[in-house]
Structure 1
Amino acid sequence: MQYKEFKSSAKLSMLGMGAMRLPVIGEDQGNIDYGKAKAIIDRAYQGGVNYYDTAYIYHNGKSEEFLGKALAEYPRESYYVADKFNLQAEPDFKKQFPEQLSRLNMEYIDFYLIHGIQDAWMDQFLESGALRYFDELKKQGKIKNLGFSFHASPASLRKLLKIYPWDFVQIQLNYLDWYYGNAKELYEILEEAEIPAMIMEPVRGGKLASLTPEAEAIFKEADPEASIASWALRFVMSRPQAQVVLSGMSNLEQVEDNLHTFSETAFLTEEEEALVKKATDEFRSKVGVGCTACHYCTPNCPVGIDIPKVLSLYNDVKLVNEEWRATFADAMPEGKRPEDCVECGACTGHCPQSLDVPAIMKEMAEIRKKFQKEQ
C-alpha cells in the first residue's frame, strides 16, 4: 500500500474505503449484509487501508453504525475515520454530531466534513453557526481535522477557502470530469492553496469501470492484464495534490483489484495520459448522463422511484443505442417506473451532478412508450 504524509502528523493510505456502497440484503439500502461488508473492511484493513469514509445519511443512516462496529476490533490509533455533517438531513448540528459519535461508538472523528456543499445552500450553512461549533469541537479534540466535500462552482470554492483555514477538501475527480467537467479547475484551486485533496468518485460511481467496447479496447491494447477501473484510479493517483483516493468497494473482487493498483506508485506516463484522453473522448461521445448512484435523490421522491436505477437503464439505452433495454424498467414495481414521475423536481435539488432528472424520466418514458407501440 502506498501512503502519503498528511500535514506531517499522519500517514494516510492513498486508497481509502468508502462506506456508501456496501452489500445489502434485498432492496433496502439500510439492511447492510454485515458478513459480506465486514469481510470487505477486514480485507481492506489487512491490505493496508487506514482511511474509512462514512456519512450521516449513507445506507439510510446505518453506515456509521456498521463501520464503528466493524472497526472496533482494531486499535483506534491504527485507522482514521471520516464522517460528514448533512445540513439537509438534520439542520441541528448540535444534535447531529453527538449522534454520529454514538453511532460510531467513538470519542472523536479524525476527518470531519460538511457534506456535499452546493451553491444553492452554501450561504445557509455559513449563516447557521455550524462552522463556529465545529471549530470549537476541533479545539476540544473531538474533531481532529475539519474540511468539506464539494459539489459546487469554482467561485464558491474560492469563497470558502477564504472563510476558514480548512485542513482538507474533498472533491469529485476522475478523468471524465477532468476533461469534460470542472474537476481540473477545482483541483488547481486546491493545489494553489496547498490544501490536501481527498478524492471521491474516481471511477464515477462505477461508470469508468465498464466503458464502451471502443473505449475499453484502447486500454486493453495498452495493457491486457489491467482492469479498466485501475486506469481511472491511476489517473487520480497521478495528481500530486491527491491525498486519499476513495473507492466505494462493494465486493472482495474490487478490494483485491484496488489493493493491487495501489500496491506501487503506478503514476501514468505521458503516453498513458494521452491514452486516457483518447479513451475519454471515445467514451464521452456515447455516454448518456453522469449519475453516480449516490441515492441522495431517492428519499425525496414522492412516488418512490429508484432514480439511479432508471438513470442506469437510460445510459444503457444511450450507450448501445438499443431502445429495447428500456423494457428492463418493467421489473420495477408498478407505480414506480419512469412514466410515473410527477415532475415535482424534488430530486434535482439534491443531485450533486445537477442532473435534470424529470426531463430524463420523461424521455425514458417516451422511449418506453414508443418501443411498446412498435411491438
Structure 2
Amino acid sequence: MAMVYRDFQGISLSGLGFGAMRLPVVNGNDAEINRDEAKKMVDRAMAAGINYYDTAFGYHDGNSEIVMGEALSKYSRDSYYIATKFPGYDLSNMPKVKEIFEEQLKKTGMEYFDFYLFHNVCEMNINQYLDPKYGIFDYLMEQKKNGRIKHLGFSCHGEYEVLKRFLDAYGEHMEFCQLQLNYLDWKFQKAEEKVKLLNDMNIPVWVMEPLRGGKLAKLDPLSEEELKALRPDEEIPAWAFRFLQSVKGVTMVLSGMSSMEQLDANLKTYSEDKPLNDKEMEGLMKVVDRMMSTKSVPCTACHYCVSHCPQGLDIPYLISLYNEHLYTAAAGGMTFIAPMALAAMDESKKPVSCLHCHSCEKVCPQQIKISDMMSDFVEKIG
C-alpha cells in the first residue's frame, strides 16, 4: 500500500503521523498501555511507510514516551522522526524545562528529538511561556543549537489572539505549528483564521484531532447520507482526512489510533491524495452547520481535566453522555442512553457531585465551561 508524503525542509515526511495519545490500554486504564499491541501497531505503521511519531510528557500518565521509545528502538534512528513536547499546560512545570527535557530523553532512550514543541500554548500559560525568567525559549534554542532538537515548533489550543501573540514573540524561530484542525473546528473554533495567519507567515501546519477525538468518525444518518451521495465509496472517517488534504499549508496530520483497525483504515485513506472539490466542500460545510446547531460540548477526551478534579469525576465520559443526550434530543430520538448510564453510576461520580471549583476549566484546552455544563446536565436528567 502506498503512502502520501509531504516535503518539509527537504525531509520527506509521511502525510499521516502516528499520534501516541490514545494508545491501546488495559482494562480501560489510561495509564496502563497495552505494550504488545502498541508495539504491533508501530511495526505495522513503519511497514506501511509512516515515519513520524508524536508523543508527549503527559500522555498516558507519562507512559507514552516510554512505550514509544521501546517500540521504535528496534529501528535504525534515521528511519523515523519522533516528536515530543514541553508540558507547559501545567504551570508548575515552567521552572523545570531542563529537568524535564533530560527526563524525556531518558524515558524515550533518545539522544535527540527530531521535533520538539511548546505544548498547548493557550490563554492559561501564554504569559509564562513568554516570561524570560523561566528561560524556556532560550533553553530550547540552545538544545537546537547543540543538535538535541532538530526542529522547534509549538502546539496551540488558544484563540487567534493568543496564537498571534506567541508568533509575534517567537514566530521567526518556529518551524511548524500544531493546531486542532478538522472540518468542524474550521468554523467552530475559527481554525480557518489561524491557518491563514500561519500561511501568511509561511509556517507549515501540523494537525491534531483530525477526527475530533472520534466525534467525526460517525455522523447523524442525514449527514452520512448526504456525504455518501457526494462520494459513494468514501468512508465517513475518511472525509475528515480528505478535508485536510484540501487545506493549504497542511504538512502533517496526526491521528491518535487505539486499534489496528483504526490504523489500517487511516493507512487506506492516506494511500492517496483525494482533496475535495468545490461541490464536496460545500456539502461538508452544510453538515458542519447542522452539527454546530446542536450546540454540543467540544470535548476531545484529552483527560487533562481528570487529574485536576478533586471529586475524581470522569469528566470526558460525562461530557460524552451529555453530548449524546443533546444530539439524540435534537434529532428527536429516544434519549435513554445517558439516563441509563447515569443510573448505573455511584452517586459520587455523577454530575451532581461537581463542586463547581473550576479547577478542571483551568487546564481544558477547549476552554469548556465544565461547571456550567455539569449544572445543565443535572437540570436536564439528574
**Preserved CA contact (<8 Å) 1:167 1:196:** yes
Specify the alignment match of 1:72 in structure 2: 73
Is the partner of 1:16 in helix, strand or coil?
strand
CA–CA distance in structure 1, aligned partners of residues 224 and 293 of structure 2: 14
Query: How big is each residue's C-alpha offset from its partner over 1:315-358, in whole Å with a ceiling of 9 and x where there is no partner?
Result: 11000114432221233444122111111100101111111101
Alignment of 1:80-99 (within 5 A): 80-87=81-88, 88=90, 90-91=93-94, 92-99=96-103
* Contact 2:130 2:166 (C-alpha < 8 Å) held by counterparts: no
CA distance in 2, matches of 1:132, 1:311: 39
Q: Which whole-Å deviations, capped at 9, do the CAs of 1:280-302 have from their partners, x for residues lacking one?
A: 12222235111010111110000
**Aligned partner (choices 345, 349, 366) of residue 358 of structure 2:** 345
Q: SS at the partner of 1:281?
A: helix
Question: Which of 115, 119, 137 does residue 119 from structure 2 map onto?
Answer: 115
Aligned residues: 368
Counterpart residue type for residue 363 of structure 1? D
| Equivalent-residue separation in structure 1 for 2:140 and 2:308 (angstroms) | 28
Which of 94, 101, 106 is the aligned partner of 1:102? 106
2:363 is the counterpart of 1:357: no
- Which residue of structure 2 lines up, in the alignment, with residue 284 of structure 1? 292
8 Å Cα contact 2:130/2:169 also seen in 1: no
Tell me the secondary structure at the aligned position of residue 356 of structure 2. Answer: coil
Percent of aligned pairs with the same residue?
43
Q: Where do 5+ consecutive residues of structure 1 fail to align?
A: 370-375
Q: Distance in 2 between matches of 1:249 and 1:333?
A: 30
- Indicate if the aligned counterparts of 1:17 and 1:249 stay in contact, CA closer than 8 A: yes
Q: Distance in 2 between matches of 1:350 and 1:156?
A: 15
Q: What does the per-residue CA deviation read over 1:57-110, in whole Å, with 9 as the maximum and x for residues that have no partner?
A: 000000000000011111111111110101216331111000001110000011
Give, as a single letter, the amino acid of the residue that structure 2 aligns with 1:30: A
Q: Does 1:270 align with 2:278?
A: yes
Kindly provide the amino acid, as one letter, of the partner of residue 46 in structure 1.
Answer: A
Cα contact 2:113–2:149 (8 A) shared by 1: yes
Q: Give 1:255's aligned residue.
A: 263
State the partner residue of 2:155.
149
CA pair 76-330 structure 1, distance change in 2 beyond 3 A: farther
SS at match of 1:206: coil
1:41 aligned partner: 42
- Quote the Cα distance in structure 2 between the aligned partners of 1:138 and 1:333: 50
Q: Distance in 2 between matches of 1:360 and 1:342?
A: 12
Indicate conservation of the 8 Å contact 1:326/1:367, yes or no: no
Aligned 1:153-302 pairs, distance under 5 A: 153-164=159-170, 165-286=173-294, 288-302=296-310
- Aligned equivalents of 1:39, 1:264: Cα separation in 2: 24
Moved more, 280-289 or 96-105: 280-289
Q: Name the Cα RMSD after superposition.
A: 1.3
In 2, the alpha carbon distance for the partners of 1:286 and 1:121 equals: 31
Greater shift in the superposed pair: 89-98 or 133-142: 89-98
Counterpart check, 1:325 vs 2:349? no
Are 1:20 and 2:32 matched, yes or no? no
**Farther-moved stretch of structure 1 (243-252 vs 324-333):** 324-333
State whether residues 17 and 248 of structure 1, in contact with CA within 8 Å, keep that contact through their aligned partners in structure 2.
yes
Aligned counterpart in structure 1 of residue 349 of structure 2, from 336, 354, 362? 336
Contact 1:108 1:142 in 2 (8 A): yes
TM-fit CA distance, 1:235: 0.4
What is the TM-score when the length of structure 2 is the normalising length?
0.93
1:13-69 Cα offsets, whole Å, 9 max, x none, are 110111001111123211001122222211111111111111000000000000000
Q: Secondary structure at the match of 1:90?
A: helix
Greater Cα shift, 297-306 or 276-285: 276-285
